Structure 1
């Protein structure tokens, strides 16, 4: 595949994770007319873009949480508490959170396909090496590096789509990319559960790493070279100024906090659920415990429902409802019977995805400039919730069992409801103004 083309002319930098082709809109008509054609639905290039990013998304999110299903095995192999074993998950998500902003800035200078290719290949190779880690410390170090490598895809893929896909076809392309993310997250856990049950945690990590490497090779062969990428003209100082402006806005800060709290609650439940289901009175095999992650599909429906609810009732009411539903789902998992646990997980998963969808959408509406940086900050906060909330939830689970983990989740949901209550009262619903006024976010 040819390397990314040198720009024929300089333009405004495209947003990193924002699914809006702002670069094309910012160009003058003469430049826009001369720009290479974008991939439209039905074209061979469009199909290649979709399949390439679908596979890369699957690989990325399969690898990010690949040890989550294996935590009980890691505890047994290395004599770790649940909280200690969960570090193998939290270091990857934490490293991604810290790296996503600098990597998104780097992609503005060196190109989208180059960053994505390096990201998915490096992460896959590190995943294969992790299967041979001689001790837990080495495994944690490799997972940390893997998290840094994985930051290259969510930081860059949406910007690539916004630049290379024709406007009326962008929504469908973005939807398929997001589907790849969710299918990878769910499928990775299913594969590790089955492979771990058959051959142990090393076999599971090796299987996922090799599958991801295959996806990386296919991505490299399929992804079309960038035709509309323009290197950023903004200096790092200007980008840092934009980040500071977003962090100075109290509404955006609360939205970032909401993403962090929802993810911490969700990560706590799924990190330690395996320990509970493997033990008595359940005593389920690991392959069956891994299959529990099929419940992720509930998030597909609740995310769409959250969008409709926002349109009717506004962000604040939707976020309140999401926090309440997440808490109700956690409470339902308390009885020691699958007739309660499974429905409870479905309810909790639906509440989490609804809250995540509403909060992330509100970020895009609130920020009228620097949307790429605003979205990158949300992604960083979201994954920090996983990396910080997981170990803290593990302490609660270790000290007080499953009821302790549920109490921890309920506290997080209460904080989320409080943040939502202060998020969008009348005056705060108005977005931060850029050069031109925009419609207010509905309260």
Structure 2
């Protein structure tokens, strides 16, 4: 595969990119950068919520809107991006989305008004819709099925790395420069990641554009995926697990600034080094799923999340940190497997299937992340932990119905825009 190949060249017989080739490595690095930029720009404000609440005089639940509006807008933008991506080349759409989101992150840092900041964050979330669904579809279309799990795991690892570096870096910078300067630095880094992505990603070889489709056609594709065995359960799992994960990360900072911990901004930021375990677990989970099967690996991740959530309820700081590590490790195992499973299970219109998965994923982040603020305000950490354990339990119940879903299909049988 070369970068000069046409993004819109028809492909009746898939021209797969095989694991171990130079093209495979370029795709993996480029999509790692896409995941990094998306999550660092999206979630970089998360450790700043206590500082933002203080700066603008808003409550913890209100401050979470700086994140929830972004993820909520992203959730719905993904549907539109999935539809647009059926007619527009994959690489330019993702690159433009990354650049626009980085610029809007800088705008959010410069505006003086709370509501203006929320608008900038909401629009940034909207434009980021051009990355996640398209990235998943690109991988499912271009990577040979035996290597898809690892490639998807590396992409998810990029999201974990972006989430970690965005949170840690912005926490440290805020301690020395203030949160506004920290957000500007994050936007500049996002622009650099977009440039690297554009330089590395090979053009699609298996993407067939479908221009002039009516919205009724797109609705038909989404409806078909919702009727497909197994896919609705994967969509539900995405929303439930992401809701639990983001709720913990949204409000753990509010807990740790209080006695008996009394941590400062930098110390709270260092808690997010737990994302290292997400980077490792997502790549390992993809490879293990390719070898041993998706269901047992995904369920193991959910069980690990539940154990981590229970550990966060202990008083010693070491136990709380261990709980966050377990939650993070388990979440990225489950998410890496589930996201790759969508690409294998979907019959045709992979971009539409990916958009439905990510719609649920980011709606879970937006809605559950804000609802968690109510539990925090009405009882502290124990109600928050109980709420998130219920979400993980519901995800396990949804996963039970997937244990017999047959995803063994002929190579190329699921190709489509």
- Fold similarity call, TM over 0.5: yes
Task: State the shift of 1:203 in Å.
Answer: 1.5
Which of 424, 429, 432 is the aligned partner of 2:402?
424
Aligned to 1:209: 187
* Cα distance between partner residues in 1 of 2:31 and 2:287: 24
Within 5 Å, give how 1:256-335 maps onto structure 2.
Answer: 256-303=235-282, 304-305=284-285, 308=288, 315=295, 320-335=299-314
Superposed displacement of residue 54, structure 1: 3.7
> In the aligned structure 2, how far is the partner of 1:290 from the partner of 1:401?
20
Among candidates 404, 408, 417, match of residue 387 of structure 2: 408
How far is the alpha carbon of 1:431 from its aligned partner? 6.2
- The answer to whether 1:71 aligns with 2:49 is yes
Change (3 A) 1:263 1:133: same
Q: 2:226 aligns with which of 226, 239, 247?
A: 247
Q: 1:46 to 1:432 in 2, by over 3 A?
A: closer
Report the Cα offset of residue 211 of structure 1: 1.5
2:86 corresponds to 1:98:
no
Which string of whole-angstrom CA distances, capped at 9 and with x for unpartnered residues, describes residues 322-365 of structure 1?
44332221111112211211111112222222332343344344
Deviation at 1:379, TM superposition (A): 1.4
Structure 1 residues 218 and 431 mapped into 2: Cα distance closer, same or farther (>3 Å)? Answer: closer
Aligned match for 1:380, one of 334, 343, 359:
359
> How far apart are the structure 1 equivalents of 2:238 and 2:301?
12
**In structure 2, what is the Cα distance between the partners aligned to 1:56 and 1:356?**
17
Query: C-alpha separation between the residues in 2 aligned to 1:404 and 1:175?
Result: 32
Q: Are residue 181 (structure 1) and residue 169 (structure 2) matched?
A: no
Question: Which of 271-280 and 213-222 deviates more?
Answer: 213-222
Could you tell which deviates more after superposition, 345-354 or 242-251? 242-251
Selected match of 1:124 from 102, 107, 117: 102
Structure 1 stretch displaced more, 51-60 or 94-103: 51-60
| Contact 1:73–1:200, Cα closer than 8 Å, also in 2 | no
Match for residue 341 of structure 1?
A: 320
2:330 is aligned, of 348, 351, 357, to 351
Is 1:136 matched with 2:114? yes
Q: Retained in 2: the 8 A contact 1:4–1:111?
A: no
Bigger Rg, structure 1 or 2: 1
Residue in 2 that maps onto 1:29: none
- Is 1:368–1:431's contact at 8 Å kept on the other side of the alignment? no
Determine which structure has greater relative contact order: mean sequence separation of CA pairs < 8 Å that are 6+ residues apart, divided by chain length: 2
Alignment partner of 1:282: what SS?
coil
For residues 183-215 of structure 1, the C-alpha deviation after alignment (integer angstroms, 9 at most, x for no partner) is 112111111111111122212211101211233
State the partner residue of 1:25: 13
Contact 1:24 1:163 in 2 (8 A): no
Structure 1 stretch displaced more, 63-72 or 369-378:
369-378
Residue among 376, 394, 398 paired with 2:377 = 398
Matched positions, count: 409
- Once residues 218 and 387 of structure 2 are traced to their aligned partners in structure 1, the CA distance between those partners, rounded to angstroms, is 37
Q: Which secondary structure state, in structure 2, belongs to the residue aligned with residue 156 of structure 1?
A: helix
What residue in structure 2 maps to residue 193 of structure 1? Answer: 171
**CA shift in 2, pair 1:309/1:331, >3 Å:** same
**2: distance between equivalents of 1:424 and 1:319?**
10
- Of the three residues 37, 59, 66, the one matched with 1:59 is 37
Distance 1:181 1:301, change over 3 A: closer
Alignment match, 2:130: 152
CA distance in 2 between counterparts of 1:305 and 1:3 reads 32
Change (3 A) 1:235 1:142: same
Q: Deviations over 1:86-145 (max 9, x none)?
A: 111111111111111221221221212221221111111101101012122111111111
Could you tell me which runs of 5 or more consecutive residues in structure 2 were left unpaired when the two chains were aligned: none
> Given the superposition, is the C-alpha separation of residues 299 and 425 from structure 1 closer, same or farther in structure 2, using an over 3 Å criterion?
closer
Contact 1:310 1:358 (C-alpha < 8 Å) held by counterparts: no
Extract unaligned runs of 5+ from structure 1. 12-22, 27-31, 439-443
Can you list the C-alpha shifts for 1:283-327, whole angstroms capped at 9, x where unaligned? 112112111111122224444358647965862x55554443322
Counterparts of 2:308 and 2:21 in 1: how far apart (Å)?
42
Superposition CA RMSD, Å: 3.5
